């Protein structure tokens, strides 16, 4: 297959937008006599005039040959051998061009079969992620029509969609991810394949599926992403109990309102995305509020904190643990703390205001960050948020002062 070559006259990629470390890795591979390209999402982002967060490089050099070229290289993985070139604040990932045929069931079971650039690109998921870029001569190498698809905002599988989804079912999640992030269109063949293959998702690694979902919660497109998961019926396979509440008219709007709140917080220019405990709590909190209303408040009963703790634990387990992509214990514990703390920061009985010393608790900042998100949706909570924010600041100052005094006397 002959690729289409696009020169600097055809595209607007500027090398000054590419990380210098990525350029230095490419240059050294070229100087070593190897083919090396920037590949995948980094090329896609550059063509969309976005600065890439990650840089992946594909090369003809074998992992051991890459290691010989770079003293700051470590090799990772057995099933999928990769070279990580380590710099002070980042890692550049380098993979060798791969080939490999799927089994009768459609799954690729051998990943360390070396191949050509053409064979490598045919293993990738979508055409927009199948572009190679050589910044040393400013060429884009396109074997799959990804350049034109990107211009037409079209998301298209490389190869037959149903086969590609069977080879790697996580591609169905990634399809919804790219639709949510970029607003791309998909062809009817892709949608039919997703409908046909959606049960294949249970053959994937639960941890890998969860990582894709958590990354979308962090990126600021959670509302549209979960809407697409719900419409495609992937959500009911991954999180059946959560889907029940998403389909219930009494809770649906609030669940998506909190997902919108997560997006608003992540899009406010924070250096880091929200803590994953906060992200999980945002999925559970509107349901916890609904269940408290149904089980207690509608009967003129105010639940005590122990009952709220028990109910929060029950819902976290039902919604996010007893599911295909169960959340790990560390995140579930953080979620529980954040959820219960909301009823101490804003108690049902205003006379039972929590004491300021709770602001000294570890990770209290996550609880008031969640309160801030609630305040963005309910302005009546803003003064309460500001008060607890100041209480936390004073508690931090006291702790810093104690540490300084301790160091003086040691």
Just list the catalytic residues: 54, 56, 125
Burial classification of residue 149, based on how many CB atoms lie within 10 Å of its CB (0-12 exposed, 13-18 middle, 19 or more buried): buried
Q: Give Cα 260 distance to the centre of its chain.
A: 16
Kindly report the CA angle at 157 between 154 and 163, in degrees rounded to 5? 155
Q: Is 78 exposed, middle or buried (0-12, 13-18, 19+ CB in 10 A)?
A: exposed
| Cβ atoms < 10 Å from Cβ of 310 | 12
Q: What gap in Å lies between CA 325 and CA 181, rounded to an integer?
A: 22
Q: Decide if 64 contacts 30 (C-beta within 8 A).
A: no
The span from the CA of 282 to the CA of 224, in Å, is 15
For the chain, the C-alpha Rg in angstroms (whole number) is 25
| Overall size of the chain counted in residues | 410
How far is CA 206 from each of CA 2, 65, 212, rounded to the nearest angstrom?
A: 38, 33, 10
Sheet containing strand 4-6, edge to edge, reads 4-6, 139-142, 131-134, 36-39, 56-59, 91-96, 82-86, 73-76
**Segment holding 222, helix H or strand E:** helix 222-231
Residue indicated by tokens 């490089």: 57
Judged by DSSP in three states, 211 sits in helix
Q: What is the largest CA-CA distance in the chain?
A: 77
Q: How many Å apart are CA 62 and CA 277, to the nearest integer?
A: 40
Cβ(60)–Cβ(96) below 8 Å: yes
For residue 356, the 8-state DSSP code is G
């Amino acid at each position: 297959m002959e690729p289409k070559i696009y020169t600097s006259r055809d595209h607007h990629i500027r090398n000054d937008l590419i990380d210098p470390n990525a350029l230095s890795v490419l240059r050294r591979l070229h100087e070593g006599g190897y083919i090396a390209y920037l590949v995948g999402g980094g090329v896609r982002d550059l063509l969309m005039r976005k600065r890439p967060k990650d840089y992946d490089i594909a090369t003809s050099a074998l992992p051991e040959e890459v290691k010989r070229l770079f003293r700051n290289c470590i090799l990772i993985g057995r099933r999928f051998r990769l070279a990580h070139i380590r710099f002070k604040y980042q890692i550049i990932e380098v993979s060798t061009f791969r080939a490999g045929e799927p089994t009768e069931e459609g799954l690729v079971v051998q990943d360390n079969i070396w191949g050509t650039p053409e064979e490598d690109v045919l293993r990738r998921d979508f055409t927009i992620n199948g572009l190679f870029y050589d910044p040393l001569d400013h060429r884009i190498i396109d074997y799959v029509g990804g350049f034109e698809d990107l211009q037409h905002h079209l998301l298209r599988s490389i190869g037959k969609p149903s086969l590609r989804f069977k080879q790697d079912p996580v591609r169905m999640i990634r399809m919804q991810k790219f639709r949510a992030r970029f607003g791309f269109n998909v062809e009817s063949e892709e949608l039919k394949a997703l409908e046909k293959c959606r049960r294949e998702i249970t053959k994937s690694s639960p941890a890998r599926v969860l990582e894709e979902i958590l990354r979308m919660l962090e990126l600021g497109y959670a509302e549209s992403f979960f809407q697409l998961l719900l419409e495609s019926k992937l959500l009911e396979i991954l999180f059946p109990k959560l889907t029940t509440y998403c389909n219930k008219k009494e809770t649906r709007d609030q669940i998506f309102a909190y997902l919108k709140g997560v997006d608003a917080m992540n899009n406010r220019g924070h250096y880091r995305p929200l803590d994953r405990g906060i992200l999980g709590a945002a999925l559970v909190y509107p349901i916890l509020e609904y269940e408290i209303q149904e089980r207690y408040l509608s009967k003129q009963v105010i639940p005590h904190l122990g009952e709220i703790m028990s109910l929060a634990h029950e819902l976290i387990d039902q919604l996010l643990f007893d599911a295909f992509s169960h959340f790990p214990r560390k995140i579930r514990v953080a979620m529980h703390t954040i959820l219960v703390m909301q009823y101490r920061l804003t108690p049902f009985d205003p006379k039972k205001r929590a004491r300021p010393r709770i602001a000294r608790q570890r990770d209290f900042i996550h609880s008031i960050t969640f309160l801030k998100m609630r305040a963005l949706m309910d302005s009546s909570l803003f003064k309460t948020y500001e008060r607890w924010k100041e209480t936390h600041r004073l508690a931090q100052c006291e702790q810093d002062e104690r540490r300084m005094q301790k160091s003086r006397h040691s």
